[in-house]
């Protein structure tokens, strides 16, 4: 098979590693949706991260399908489409009417109309390698936007001096995923895959550095948190356009607030594994 020929062995190795690490990242929101299922409520979470993740996975499947040597991009993003669709279905089931209608409108406009427009225009207005390059630029631009999201989380960690909002395991797998897809793109000679993951690796590495700096300060921050005035509560709406935000007012109890906010952070990270495979 060409997939595992000698000249492509490193493509295969890093592609498999990327599939495994990205699989873990895709599964990260499961605790969030288990919580939603138990409470029978979305509890202020938003659906945008999952709609964005689904859109990104669809784009990368289309891009990879035009190439003859990107099968491992198709496998992980196919799984991504499946799991993100399940997440969105869960959200629609338990969301209040206003949030449900908003999600359905976004799903129609972004994932159906938006993707269909890209598909039709690239099919009829571009041919051969030109079509691949156009799609590559679209995917790469979208990936850069996704990779900017950790900046808000890192700022939150620095501001609160707490890693309560940035789980180490998730940061680790995001970094591994970025490294794997970076080398996958290099050995495949595909810059559209490789370049965005340079940024992903940098942000992932910085997250782990911040974790090492602030991990021992988290408990003291939680103890003092109850004495902080209201303006010091975390404003989740400032995280990024693709991270989950809260529609409800933050709780006043420090312990409940940290758990709730932590869940939202984990949710947003888990939805953008795109991080590597979706690049």
For 94-146, the pLDDT digits (tens) are: 999 999 999 999 999 999 999 999 999 988 888 888 899 999 999 988 888 77
**Residues 6 or more apart whose Cβ sits within 8 Å of residue 142:** 55, 56, 59
Sign of CA dihedral 49, 116, 141, 198: positive
CA dihedral 210, 214, 216, 218 (to 10 degrees): -120
Q: What is the 3-state secondary structure (H, E, C) of 39-53?
A: HCCCCCCCCHHHHHH
Helix, strand, coil percentages for the chain (3-state, nearest 5): 80, 0, 20
For 211-220, the pLDDT digits (tens) are: 888 887 755 4
The pair of structure tokens assigned to 17 is 């590693």
Residues in the chain: 279
As a whole number of Å, the CA-based R_g of the chain is 19
The pair of structure tokens assigned to 147 is 């990779």
Cβ–Cβ < 8 Å for 45, 237: no
Query: What is the structure's pLDDT at 44?
Result: 75
Cβ–Cβ < 8 Å for 72, 12: yes
SS3 state of residue 188:
helix
User: Per residue of the chain (279 residues), what is the pLDDT tens digit?
Assistant: 444 544 589 999 999 999 999 999 999 889 888 888 998 888 778 888 899 889 999 999 999 999 888 899 999 999 999 999 999 999 999 999 999 999 999 999 999 999 999 999 988 888 888 899 999 999 988 888 777 766 777 888 888 888 876 778 888 888 999 999 999 999 999 999 999 999 889 988 888 888 888 887 755 444 444 333 333 333 333 333 334 333 333 444 434 444 444 444 344 444 444 444 445
DSSP characters for 20-42? HHHHHHHHTTHHHHHHHHHHTS-
Query: What is the structure's pLDDT at 162?
Result: 82
pTM beyond 0.75: no
Query: What is the structure's pLDDT at 194?
Result: 93
Task: Scan for tokens 């947003």, then name that residue.
Answer: 268
The pair of structure tokens assigned to 30 is 């499961």
Cβ–Cβ < 8 Å for 265, 153: yes
Cα gap 194→171, rounded to integer Å: 19
């Amino acid at each position: 098979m060409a997939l595992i020929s000698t000249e492509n062995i490193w493509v295969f190795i890093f592609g498999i590693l990327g599939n495994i690490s990205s699989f873990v990242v895709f599964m990260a929101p499961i605790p969030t949706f288990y919580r939603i299922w138990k409470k029978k409520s979305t509890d202020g979470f938003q659906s945008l991260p999952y709609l964005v993740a689904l859109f990104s996975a669809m784009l990368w499947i289309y891009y990879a399908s035009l190439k003859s040597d990107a099968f491992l991009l198709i496998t992980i993003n196919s799984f991504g489409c499946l799991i993100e669709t399940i997440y969105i279905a869960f959200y629609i089931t338990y969301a209040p009417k206003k949030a449900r209608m908003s999600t359905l409108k976004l799903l129609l406009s972004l994932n159906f109309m938006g993707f269909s427009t890209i598909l039709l225009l690239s099919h009829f207005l571009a041919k051969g390698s030109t079509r691949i390059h156009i799609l590559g630029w679209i995917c790469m631009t979208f990936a850069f936007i996704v990779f900017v999201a950790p900046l808000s989380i890192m700022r939150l960690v620095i501001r609160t001096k707490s890693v309560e909002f940035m789980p180490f395991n998730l940061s680790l797998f995001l970094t591994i995923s970025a490294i794997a897809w970076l080398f996958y793109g290099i050995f495949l000679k595909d810059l559209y895959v490789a370049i965005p993951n340079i940024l992903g690796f940098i942000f992932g590495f910085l997250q782990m550095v911040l974790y090492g700096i602030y991990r021992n300060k988290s408990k003291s921050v939680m103890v003092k948190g109850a004495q902080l005035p209201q303006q010091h509560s975390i404003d989740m709406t400032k995280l990024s356009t693709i991270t989950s935000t809260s529609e409800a007012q933050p709780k006043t109890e420090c312990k409940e607030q940290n758990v709730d906010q932590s869940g939202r952070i984990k949710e947003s990270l888990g939805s953008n594994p795109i991080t590597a495979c979706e690049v």
